[in-house]
Amino acid sequence: MFVYRGSTALITGASKGLGKTFAEALAARGMNLVLVARSGDTLQTLAENLTARYGVQSVALSVDLAHPDAALHVSEELERRGIQVDLLVNNAGLGLTGSFLSHDLKKKHAEIQVNVQVLVALSHLLGSAMTRRGRGGIINLASNASFQPLPYMATYAATKAFVLSFSEALQYELAGTGVHVMAACPGPTATSFFDGVSTDVSAKDMDSSESVVNKTLEAFDRRKAVAYPGRPSVRVATWLSRLLPRALVVRIAAMASGKMGLHG
């Protein structure tokens, strides 16, 4: 069982949505926190509130994770402050909707940087230290989009497929080291992820961030390699790519994203 109380978690994308909920849930378990996001003032306010409510140490690091040197900057700042991270929650993510060619190339690069490059770099930098100490954990936020190509969110789904594959392989490599790696694959969640996006998905068709985080941590406590913290229909949808021809899976996924209003 992972020892939460007195340990330190680093959470990316911690200022809102699932990241903020992870911060609250882990603070309630007695964890000290390093909160990483771009929005400095919001992050600092959250850190102060969590310290006041739970008596834990909370550090806010304002970092633009879309910058190529973001992970190295975080690592150097941790070393400068003498902070040892025991649990890494790679939560930050970007998801552009609409046709691939409708977006500026720089925005697509930023999506890959945040969803893949930072996640890999932090897993390497912090995971190496955890392995040397013989204990620790990494939770990588994948998605139900990890299991099939997703037209109109093509890059996002591809990055999440990477996260799932990478996490499962890394968990196998680190078995027996005392460091546990898990990918979480939630479905649509009632966060700010869809803010500013033309979508027909309503909150009642999504899981709450509290439910997703609680189920994710429960799966992590059970030492699962992959968590499915969504409603049963989301779990069933992940089976389609294993049972149906790929061409049909893509057509079904395109119909689903069109129904959600993500194509425009």
Mean pLDDT for the stretch of residues 149-170: 97
The model's pLDDT over 174-186, given as tens digits with 9 standing for 90+, comes to: 999 999 999 999 9
Instruction: Name residue 259's amino acid.
Output: K
Residue-level pLDDT at 112: 98
Q: What is the mean pLDDT of residues 42-60?
A: 98
Residue range 204-228: average pLDDT? 94
Active site residues: 156, 160
Q: Computed from CA positions of residues 258, 13, 120, 163, in that sequence, does the dihedral angle turn out positive or negative? A: negative
pLDDT attached to residue 198: 54
Give me the mean pLDDT over the 63-79 stretch: 97
pLDDT computed for residue 203 by the predictor:
66
Instruction: Compare 215 and 255 and report the one with higher pLDDT.
Output: 215
Helix (H) or strand (E) holding 168: helix 154-174
* DSSP assignment letter at 189: B
Overall average pLDDT of the 49-64 stretch: 98
Q: In angstroms, rounded to a whole number, what is the distance separating the alpha carbons of residues 163 and 231? A: 21
Distance CA 57, CA 80 (A): 16
pLDDT of residue 199: 56
Arithmetic mean of pLDDT, 217-232: 96
Report residue 136 as tokens. 């620790």
Residue with tokens 């691939």: 100
Give the mean model confidence (pLDDT) for residues 48-56: 98
pLDDT at 166: 98
What are phi and psi for residue 149, nearest 5 degrees?
-60, 145
The whole-angstrom separation of Cα 8 and Cα 243 is 41
178's tokens: 């005392």
Are the C-beta atoms of 31 and 4 separated by less than 8 Å?
A: yes
Question: Number of helices and strands (H, E) in the chain?
Answer: 10, 7
Tens-digit pLDDT profile for residues 239-264: 888 889 989 999 988 988 888 777 65
Give the residue-averaged pLDDT of 185-206: 70
189-198 mean pLDDT: 63
- Look at 194 and 206; give whichever has higher pLDDT: 206
Q: Name the average pLDDT for the chain.
A: 93
Query: C-alpha angle 172/176/177, rounded to 5°?
Result: 100
Q: What is the mean pLDDT of residues 197-210?
A: 73
The answer to whether residue 29 scores a pLDDT higher than 70 is yes
Rg over alpha carbons for the chain, rounded to the nearest Å, is 18
Coil vs helix vs strand at 182? strand
CB distance 15 to 46 below 8 Å? yes
C-beta atoms surrounding 200 within 10 Å? 10
Cα-based distances in Å from 246 to 28, 148, 241, 249, 251: 43, 8, 7, 5, 9
51 contacts 28 by C-beta, under 8 angstroms: no
pLDDT confidence bin for 147, thresholds 50/70/90: very high
Q: Which residues of 14-42 are buried (b: 16+ CB within 10 A; e: fewer)?
A: bbbbbbbbbbbbbbeeebbbbbbbbeeeb
Domains of the chain with CATH codes: 8-259 (3.40.50.720)
Tens of pLDDT, residues 83-110: 999 999 999 999 999 999 999 999 999 9
CA 178 to chain centre: 22
Pick from 214, 13, 225: nearest CA to 119: 13
